[in-house]
Chains A and B, each alone.
Chain A
Amino acid sequence: MKPAPFTYHAPASLERAFALLDEHGYDAKPLAGGQSLVPAMNFRLAQPAVLIDLNRLDRLAGIEPTDAGGLRIGAMTRQRALERDPRVARVAPLLAQALPHIAHPQIRNRGTLGGSLAHADPASELPAVMLGLGARLRLGGSRGERWLPAQEFFLGLFSTALEPGELLLEIEIPAAAPGSGWAFEEAARRHGDFALAGVAAGARLDADGRCRETTVVLFGVGEGPVPVPGAAAALAGRRPSAQRIAEAAEVVRSSLDPPGDIHASPAYRRRLAAVLTRRALTRAFDAAGKASA
């Protein structure tokens, strides 16, 4: 379990990083927290000829409030920093609830938000959370920058909208609308394991206590984060009840075609997805109710 030989660069500026990416193309991999890439390299499953270490790019880390009451988070911000920041807990409770489920504190000390999103592992929590929050992502390279909504960023198994030469630079999380509630649920064998299935859920009630908006995004059950817009239909415009929440969970269960592996069969994943959806929506509506009060 020693990696294959590689050339190592640690650029001190973003411009230099872009230049290296352009020069080496598919031969190069950017290194963020390294918590996914380095083990893959040690297994020799990943053998990038060139490693471009982003850890000297201080400008890419940091948490700033936006004028609209949201947050702008640099891609190289450590997961542990997000976990400890009270602004994250206030502005993005969904993210705050999800972070302790990601591996262990030691991993989160190194792992970054941007790295996890760019890696796009189908069992990872953060892509689903970004969709749940309606986040926007800023991508950039030597040819310029662009913004992309989270749901357009994740294209499939380990596959994102990043073009060759591009890096994920920043993530913008909008302010939560009034009357919103959030809940994150995950089923895993051990604390910190890859999820067998998980849900990032959000709910918004109007002044009447009727459901204004529902978001249900699953992970660990497909090729990437799986939004289930049909779950919202059972609840739209009505008062949330145990019955209606159960219907939404059933929509999730029947719409999924999850993979099987040694830890969970497709049927078991469907069951977990349904149960977690029901529990998450119940908590989310509860929180929304309190937020409206």
Chain B
Amino acid sequence: MTESPSWLGRRVPRNEDARLLTGRALFVDDVNPPGTLHVAFFRSDHAHALIRGIELGTARRRPGVVAAYTAADLGEFWQPGQLLVAPVPVEGAVFHAVTQGPLARGKVCCAGEALAMVVAESRYLAEDALADIQVDLEPLPAVGDLEAALAPGAPVIHQGLGGNLAARARQRKGDYEAARAAAHRVIARRFRYDRGVSGAIENRGIVAAWDPRAEELTVWDTTQAPIPIRNGLARVLGLRESQVRVIAPFIGGGFGPKIMMHYPEELLVPWAARRLGATVKWIEDRQESFFATTQERLQIHDAELAVAADGKILGVRDRFLHDTGAYDPYGLTIPINTQCTLLGLYDVPCYDSEFTVVFTNRPIVTPVRGAGRQHGVFVMERLLDFAARELGLDPVEIRRRNLLTPDRFPHDHGILFQDSAPLIYDSGNYAPLLERAAERVEYQRFKRETQPAARAGGRRLGIGIVSYVEGTGIGPYEGARVTIEPSGTVRVATGVGTQGQGHFTTFAQIVAEVLGVEVGRVEVVTGDTREFGWGSGTFASRGIVVAGTACHEAACRVRAKAVALAAEILGVAAEEVELASAGARVRGAPQRRIGLGELARRANPLRGAVRPGTEPGLEATAYFGPDRGSTAAGVHAMVVEVDPETALVAIRRYVVVHDCGRVINPAIVDGQIQGGVAHGIGNAFYEALAWDENGQLLNASFMDYLLPTALDVPTVEIVHLETPSPLNPLGVKGVGEAGAIPTAAAFAQAVEDALAGTGLEILEAPLSPNRLFELLQALPGAAR
């Protein structure tokens, strides 16, 4: 028998694709038991208003309506939501926690807040009943501009605080003032990065079924964190955790907002199911998602970079405002990510970063793919570009001169990361990322030949190269249980959910490698609290690092049990037993073999004894809890063409050179990066939520909120480099957000390069052609 090559690093076709592509995968909306009741929410049109009265009588009398509720009807069940993430303990930080209740009470703080819930025989009838509801709202002035919200006399959103300041924190290292005084140049600019939605292809949804005989609640939920949802629901509903089962089935994209637990709907739908003794269902429609699902991205930075004459960074100072929306359930995660990620791949001796988090009358902000890293990268990369321009340096060169060298790892930056641990880069080898990217995109040839030739022909091509780090794989922990079944199938259960990352394949590859079986014989179960009840969830690019490592550890323990039992059965020492081709065999004498399925049967005797200190079967559970995250890194290069007359921009080429440590499945990593780049291109160029001065959202649909389509996103050319992480046995790092992080910075550099000589500076993201036109018109010498 020939040995099969390692499963790790192989482009294995995904285990889950056959089901997904033939429509056999279960999504929440596929759950339709007979007699299901349907929910619709009455949501506020106004962004800031006092609730004078809500009248539900007419709605309740409509035929087909089973019930309707306001906050008053919830009684003691009404409570402000829990704080999801405790604020990172930055010294001297101020944090005012204000969280949202399940239905608005007393006042409305953002448009889309739910004022009432209607339960009816169909969603059609429930929406008809919404038209029956009379709400008396007294509109108040709404505030959305961050500086206006902090100005004296601004409308105060949460009375008890006396103002709209939600938090403030400052992190420092070294002496920035001294660095500034010694600098050859100080580059200072104001940057603005604006709000967007996560745009998952599947909206949110919940089906809750209360079984009065078994006294059990089953909930199907598009959540990235089924276990915390289960724990929270049990607590608020007064049930035991064992009475509640939360299932996160196949989910069409998570990206962060689906972990915002508990959303009002996640509490109300199960509550209604219990109260009505029925199965209750709510599926969010797309228009609702613009208001009811969390968003991210508005920050304003006043930042400066102190550089030496040779382009070396002496220090950075940043003062920024961060929009948290009407409430702040997610602690300081996003702005801390911004603070940390700004440092990038560079050696930054001195740093002084302070942020102020502001309440506004806008939907709640929680992490969306990138989670604040985009902003840090945008600020640093842009400052470097402007510094390069002033110093007469090439943008690649100024980066080259500032990269951390391999001897500087592990590198402690002296500030705290989102997991409250010190920001320490575990491993990295950055110069090759930059060189490979420049080489792959043919940077030299572009600047010397391609670009000038195009210009002579009236075409404006431009190139942008930027770098970024991505902190990944943070704790607290995840677990996995691996079982070899008598059929020979290996079953893996873990607590994280899957929203398209390919866990059914990558975790299978990890386990298959340890146990010597075919990847297709490893069945992975994720996201079902009945299968595995300990863990946190899928977020912050940690699935493969934390859950993957737990799978590995559990598989290793099963391997040890299998080897020990096989050694006994085959009559050899354990060291002479190897696992391969779905069996245990003696090394050098492969005919002396016992299949894994047979081994599993033997491990579970119907007679005889299981010796004390051992367990029946071939099964083990393991947990992995890293005390800090691992740092991935990469470089993106982009070529654009700008039509100088119409300000329309096309992306001609996109290259990503990327290091996420050991790559388990290159095809899946490629997919993550391609998808991340699509997200990044949307961020940089298409997606912008437009609010009027009264907090009214003007583009709550995909007609006017533009997502890039397959026709707008180029195929990304991807190069993988691998610098393993020392923090886990596989050496893996996360990759979920990488593609989305530096795109706006690359785009800005490339467009400026295409229009070099005009004096154009791009200080904002996203940048639409309309806005580019406006910026160009404002430059001296612009044509009409």
Contact = CB atoms under 8 A, between A and B. Distances in A.
B711 A190 contact: yes
Contacts of A272: 646
Contact of A275 (B287, B646, B711, B712): B646
Contacts of B711: 190-192
Given A262-B704, A265-B774, A275-B645, A189 B769 contact: yes
B646 A190 contact: no
A251 to B, nearest CB: 14
A275 B647 CA distance: 11
B646 A187 contact: yes
B667 interface: no
A263 B287 CA distance: 19
Main secondary structure of the interface of B (DSSP, over half): loop
Given A190-B686, A190-B709, A263-B768, A2 B124 contact: yes
Interface pairs A-B: 5 shortest CB-CB: A1-B285, A262-B690, A2-B124, A275-B645, A191-B711
A26 B157 CA distance: 45
B769 A262 contact: no
B648 interface: yes
B106 to A, nearest CB: 29
A187 B123 contact: no
Given A1-B286, A263-B704, A191 B699 contact: no
A43 to B, nearest CB: 7
A4 interface: yes
A264 B770 contact: yes
A38 to B, nearest CB: 14
Interface in A189-223: 189-194, 196
A44 interface: yes
A267 interface: yes
B703 interface: yes
B708 interface: yes
B646 A262 contact: no
B177 interface: no
A117 to B, nearest CB: 21
Contacts of B706: 189-190, 193
Given A2-B123, A43-B701, A189-B768, 9 more contacts: A44-B127, A190-B686, A190-B711, A196-B770, A262-B690, A264-B770, A265-B774, A267-B773, A276-B646
A190 B712 contact: yes
A24 interface: no
Interface string A238-273: 000000000000000000000000111101100110
Interface residues of B, number: 31
Contacts, number: 63
Nearest to B772: A268
Interface string B688-711: 101000000011010110101101
A192 to B, nearest CB: 8
A5 interface: yes
Contacts of A189: 686, 706, 768-769
B128 interface: yes
B713 to A, nearest CB: 10
B156 to A, nearest CB: 29
B712 A263 contact: no
A187 B703 CA distance: 16
B185 to A, nearest CB: 35
A171 B648 CA distance: 35
A279 to B, nearest CB: 9
Interface of B: 123-124, 127-128, 131, 285-287, 645-648, 686, 688, 690, 698-699, 701, 703-704, 706, 708-709, 711-712, 768-770, 773-774, 777
A278 B128 CA distance: 51
A293 to B, nearest CB: 27
A123 to B, nearest CB: 11
Given A187-B646, A275-B646, A265 B770 contact: yes
B648 A187 contact: yes
Contacts of A264: 770
A192 B703 CA distance: 11
14 contacts: A4-B128, A44-B127, A187-B648, A189-B686, A193-B706, A196-B769, A262-B704, A263-B770, A267-B773, A267-B774, A267-B777, A268-B773, A271-B645, A271-B773
Contacts of A267: 773-774, 777
Given A189-B686, A191-B709, A263-B768, A5 B773 contact: no
B770 A1 contact: no
A50 to B, nearest CB: 17
A263 B774 CA distance: 12
B699 A262 contact: yes
B439 to A, nearest CB: 32
Contacts of A193: 706
Nearest to A264: B770
Contacts of B647: 268
Nearest to B285: A1
A265 B131 CA distance: 35
Contacts of B285: 1
A266 to B, nearest CB: 11
B685 to A, nearest CB: 9
Contacts of A265: 770, 773-774
Interface string A26-48: 00000000000000000110000
B711 to A, nearest CB: 5
Contacts of A44: 127
Nearest to B689: A262
B128 A5 contact: yes
A5 B125 CA distance: 9
A183 B699 CA distance: 32
Interface string A1-34: 1111100000000000000000000000000000
The interface centre, meaning the residue of B698, B712, B769 with most chain A CB atoms within 10 A of its CB, is B769
Contacts of A4: 127-128, 131
B126 to A, nearest CB: 8
Interface in A167-192: 187, 189-192
B127 A2 contact: yes
A262 B773 contact: no
A189 B772 CA distance: 13
B438 to A, nearest CB: 30
B239 to A, nearest CB: 32
B770 to A, nearest CB: 5
B648 A268 contact: no
Nearest to A197: B646
Contacts of A190: 686, 706, 708-709, 711-712
Contacts of B701: 43
Nearest to A253: B784
Contacts of B712: 190-191
A238 B774 CA distance: 36
A267 to B, nearest CB: 7
Contact of A262 (B686, B698, B777): B698
Contacts of B770: 196, 263-265, 268
Contacts of A43: 287, 701
A194 B127 contact: no
Nearest to A187: B646
Contacts of A191: 709, 711-712
Interface in A68-99: none
A187 B769 CA distance: 11
Contact of B287 (A1, A262, A271): A1
